[in-house]
Structure 1
Amino acid sequence: MNTTPEPPAARHIALVAHDNKKPELLEWASFNAGSLKKHYLYATGTTGNMLEHELGMQVHRFLSGPVGGDQQIGARIAEGGIDMLIFFWDPLESQPHDPDVRALLRLCTVWNIPMASNVATADFLISSPLFHEEYERVVPPFGPRDYTEFSGTP
């Protein structure tokens, strides 16, 4: 079996942006393309398409946010498959999938996932020494075993 080892400290980074924030995320990702290309990137549909076509980045694309993409990223967070979320959300625009957005942000907090909602925070995250080295985050003690006492099954 021929496998390629994972680069040291490669992160699984989800990139999401509401429509009014997509140009801002594209500009940020373009400026940080050298750093981002060393990591595994994930995005909701339209944002992922934009990053792939405009910047030539390889991105795993989920569905568009309003049709389940935010929930897919949330599920990946709960499974331990996302290390960081860069989500430029628009606090001034009503979103039809606002409950999904809040659930995604909640999951980041529950699972201790670093998240940025604007350029300044994203800049701090990507420039942190912890971004470029191994980091073992504290994960809450949730898992299938923890729920057995409530379900009645061993």
Structure 2
Amino acid sequence: MHGSPLRVALVAHDARKDALIEWAGGHLDALEQCEISATGTTGGRLKGAYPKLNITALKSGPLGGDQQIGALIAEDRMDAIIFFIDPLSPMPHDVDVKALTRLAVVYDLPLAHSPRAADVLMWGLRHG
């Protein structure tokens, strides 16, 4: 992390994708300095909205994207995760989400599940 770009995962459940796109728009200065990994549709929408961002689009979460991010964590190739979850809708791949959250804790990575938490996370990464 020292001197190199921050490696950040951006993920959002379907009902939270608009919120993540909006949040990213408010943090373009910081995100333009990051290497971003994003799952499926989220990555495509972010690229469409903000073409200057350095985004690697992975598979859709339910099709393995969550595991791809988990592998990046295990390989020490991720610095933070911003994962806007929808706590009010059932998720068929909830097990994958829990596994990703567990890896973030095991590897002591900052993890944000909401816009305000993501604001604090980004502030801390930029000033900490």
TM range, smaller chain: over 0.9
The alignment's C-alpha RMSD in Å is 1.5
Q: Which runs of 5+ in 1 are unaligned?
A: 1-5, 136-154
Report % sequence identity.
43
Q: Which residue matches 2:95?
A: 99
Q: Say whether residues 1:64 and 2:49 are aligned partners.
A: no
Please give the alpha-carbon distance, in whole angstroms, between the structure 2 residues aligned to 1:51 and 1:7. Answer: 26
Q: Say whether residues 1:29 and 2:24 are aligned partners.
A: yes
Q: Say whether residues 1:78 and 2:74 are aligned partners.
A: yes
* Structure 2 letter corresponding to 1:18: H
Task: After TM superposition, give the deviation of residue 8 of structure 1 in Å.
Answer: 2.0
* Structure 1 letter corresponding to 2:70: G
TM-score, structure 2 as length reference: 0.94
Q: 2:50 aligns with which of 35, 55, 67?
A: 55
Q: Tell me if the contact between 1:9 and 1:132 (Cα under 8 Å) persists in the aligned partners.
A: no
* Structure 2 letter corresponding to 1:58: N
Q: Which residue matches 2:15?
A: 20
Q: Tell me if the contact between 2:34 and 2:54 (Cα under 8 Å) persists in the aligned partners.
A: no
Q: Tell me if the contact between 1:73 and 1:104 (Cα under 8 Å) persists in the aligned partners.
A: yes
Please give the alpha-carbon distance, in whole angstroms, between the structure 2 residues aligned to 1:31 and 1:7. Answer: 24
Aligned residues: 127
SS, match of residue 25 in structure 1:
helix
Q: Which runs of 5+ in 2 are unaligned?
A: none
Q: Say whether residues 1:132 and 2:121 are aligned partners.
A: no
Please tell me whether Structure 1 or Structure 2 has the larger radius of gyration of its CA atoms.
Answer: 1
TM-score, structure 1 as length reference: 0.79
Q: Tell me if the contact between 2:83 and 2:111 (Cα under 8 Å) persists in the aligned partners.
A: yes
